[in-house]
Amino acid sequence: MTIPTIYIVSGGQGTSGERIVRATLAQFPGIDVPIYVLSGVRDISAIESVVVNAAASNGLIVHTLVNTDLRNTLTTLARNSNVMAIDLQGPLLLQLTRLLELEPKGEPGLYQRLRAPYFRRIEAMEYTVDHDDGRRIEELHLAEIVLTGVSRVGKTPLSMYISTHGWRVANVPLMREMSPPDQLFEVDSRRVIGLSIQPGQLVAFRQFRQQRLGLSMKSSYSSAEDLYEEVEYARKIFRRGGFWTLDVTDRPIEESAEEIIAHVTRAIRDS
């Protein structure tokens, strides 16, 4: 059996059409169907080309064109070339036009533009999850905000909260027994935030974690003397990098996040 190629044609990114096609193909496990996405279609020449390719490969066209002229042209060309073309957008647009008694704008990519803030937040949250606790350090330069500090200073929850506001955040742990990564000092220092905390509160956080994990309380992890040295070590790193420092002792996450966002926004704007 020859498996035909499915051509997805869209005036936008083709995301909706591709998702529907892949969701439908999931009902046919074990079959690897080639999918080709033609996005950003704005003229007839692109439509003519995809119809020719589909005809030559006995392929199927699935389209989500909102421009009436382009949609009608594709339907006509496909019919004349004996190519099956499935219109995912037209019938719904027609029914809504009748129901709402309004003409659609017919602007490709309008949904993406209207939902841009939402998609930005999702992208920021995904980046932040992937770059938590020093992971994928080679991509640190892609972060809009970098948080650094000792263990249990609150880097992860603060990073996640800031990302919900649409910022790509990475966090880098600092440990006395290990040198900080070179990439930390290659990032624009205005975007790097050193998180500091009073040793007394850090002791409480560390001891709580030890209790939850069932670990022995007799270790340097929660020793007041050792933690004081850890905090001092982190401050030296902050001074070395010229990083802005925020003391998070007794601060709620929301307050810390607001101050960090304001600082980075102001620093970049005034540069």
> What pLDDT is recorded for position 268?
83
Per-residue confidence (pLDDT) for residue 224, from 0 to 100:
62
- Which of the two residues, 213 and 247, has the higher pLDDT score? 247
Confidence category of residue 92, pLDDT binned at 50, 70, 90? confident
> 135-174: string of b/e by CB count within 10 Å (b at 16+)?
eeeeebeebbbbbbbbbbbbbbebbbbbbeebbbbbbbbb
CATH of 116-269, one of 3.10.350, 3.40.50, 1.10.10, 1.25.40: 3.40.50
Query: Which region among 2-6, 92-96, 247-251 has the lowest average model confidence (pLDDT)?
Result: 92-96
Q: Which residue has the tokens 């659609």?
A: 104
Output the CA–CA distances (angstroms, integers) from residue 206 to 164, 194, 201, in the order listed: 27, 19, 9
Instruction: Look at residue 182 in the predicted model and tell me its pLDDT.
Output: 96
Rounded mean pLDDT, 28-39: 91
Q: Which residues contact 178 (CB under 8 A, 6 or more apart)?
A: none
Q: Who wins on pLDDT, 58 or 224?
A: 58
Every domain of the chain and the residues it spans: 6-114, 116-269
Q: What is the pLDDT averaged over residues 262-267?
A: 93
Residue 205's alpha-carbon distances to 58, 130, 170, 220, 230, in angstroms, are: 64, 24, 22, 14, 14
Give pLDDT, residue 218: 60
Query: Model pTM?
Result: 0.63
Q: What is the dihedral of CA 192, 224, 156, 142, to 10 degrees?
A: 30
Least confident range from 37-46, 82-91, 95-104, 173-182: namely 95-104
Convert the pLDDT of each residue in 190-246 to its tens digit: 999 999 998 878 777 777 666 766 655 566 665 666 778 888 999 999 999 999 999
Among 29-33, 165-169, 182-186, 200-204, the range scoring the smallest mean pLDDT is 200-204
Q: Which of 78-82, 136-140, 227-231, 251-255 has the lowest mean pLDDT?
A: 227-231
Predicted local distance difference test score (pLDDT) of residue 94: 83
pLDDT tens column, 107-157: 776 666 666 787 788 899 999 999 999 999 999 999 999 999 998 899 999
What number is the average pLDDT over the span 24-30?
90
| φ and ψ of 172, to 5 deg | -125, 120
3-state secondary structure 34-94: CEEEECCCCCHHHHHHHHHHHHHCCCEEEECCCCHHHHHHHHHHHHHCCCEEEECCHHHHH
Return the pLDDT at 217. 54
Architecture of the domain whose range is 6-114:
3-Layer(aba) Sandwich (3.40)
pLDDT band with cut points at 50, 70 and 90 for residue 35: very high
Q: Would you mind telling me the total number of residues written for the chain in this entry?
A: 271
pLDDT at 144: 96
Q: Would you state the torsion angle of the CA atoms of residues 171, 175, 179, 184, taken in this order, to the nearest 10 degrees?
A: 20
- Asked if domains 6-114 and 116-269 share a fold, the reply is yes
- Tell me what the pLDDT averaged over the chain comes to: 88
169-173 and 35-38 strand pairing: unpaired
pLDDT score recorded for residue 45: 93
pLDDT at 112: 63
229 vs 98: CA distance, rounded Å: 72
Query: What pLDDT shows up at residue 206?
Result: 75
Q: Residue 188: pLDDT above 70?
A: yes
CA-to-CA distance for 151 and 216, rounded, in angstroms? 17
Give me the sheet containing 84-87, strands edge to edge. Answer: 35-38, 6-9, 60-63, 84-87
